[in-house]
Structure 1
Amino acid sequence: MNVSTTVQRDLLYVIAGHEDPTERTLKRTLESYYRTEIRPDRLASSLDALCQRGLVERVDRAETNYSLTKRGRHEIEARREWESGYFDPKRENK
């Protein structure tokens, strides 16, 4: 996966799960999941990095929204395929 932090990876998933979410929506969703505050500068730098890598694009509206690019969707699909090679929820631990 072409991301360097877990926040960037998780942002890809959150953006994929919403229709053009705002930074505010992304921040609230991650904070709820992590159960801690996400600093605005960390969120902004993570989103900038994803945009620079071509995984996410900014959609200009009254508020800045974000959408997943085809490349971003491909990265998620590749990650899920990779994960499935190591984790099968149907398999029992032995």
Structure 2
Amino acid sequence: MFELTGFQRDLLYVIAGADRPSGQQIKESISDDVGEVNHGRLYPNLDTLVESGFVDKGQHDRRTNFYQLSEAGQEAIVERRKWEDRYVAFDE
């Protein structure tokens, strides 16, 4: 996952937390946290995640696509969190 940008990693987490979200739903969700995200930024990054095998893309209907984590995407998040925990471990 180190080859991804921070924005692409954030998209993975947003997709992981939703049930087959559309691009518009992803845009609204991530915009709540990072500020307005335009289509020109969102969709090329989603395409990169699909092309890299972290995300699967399907169709809700003829006009609306959905996105979901692939098995590789799920594994990447688990491995990323393990890596982060090696460096950032707080006692709760």
**Do the two structures share a fold, i.e. TM-score over 0.5?**
yes
- The answer on 1:79 being equivalent to 2:80 is yes
CA RMSD of the aligned region, Å? 1.3
1:7 alignment partner in structure 2: 7
Q: CA offset at residue 39 of structure 1? A: 1.4
Q: CA offset at residue 4 of structure 1? A: 2.4
Q: Secondary structure at the match of 1:58?
A: strand
Q: CA offset at residue 22 of structure 1? A: 0.7
**Judging changes above 3 Å, is the alpha-carbon distance between structure 1 residues 2 and 64 closer, same or farther for their aligned structure 2 residues?**
farther
Q: CA offset at residue 3 of structure 1? A: 4.1
Q: Give the Cα separation in 1 of the matches to 2:2 and 2:22.
A: 22
Over 3 Å off, 4+ runs: none
- Relative to the length of structure 1, the TM-score reads 0.89
Q: CA offset at residue 64 of structure 1? A: 0.6
**Judging changes above 3 Å, is the alpha-carbon distance between structure 1 residues 10 and 61 closer, same or farther for their aligned structure 2 residues?**
same
- Relative to the length of structure 2, the TM-score reads 0.91
In the alignment, is the contact (CA less than 8 A) between 1:3 and 1:50 conserved in 2? no
1:23 alignment partner in structure 2: 23
Instruction: Tell me the number of residue pairs that the alignment of Structure 1 and Structure 2 aligns.
Output: 90
Report the identity percentage. Answer: 34
Greater CA deviation, 59-68 or 43-52? 59-68
Unmatched tracts of structure 1, length 5 or more? none
Q: Residue type of the partner of 1:89?
A: F
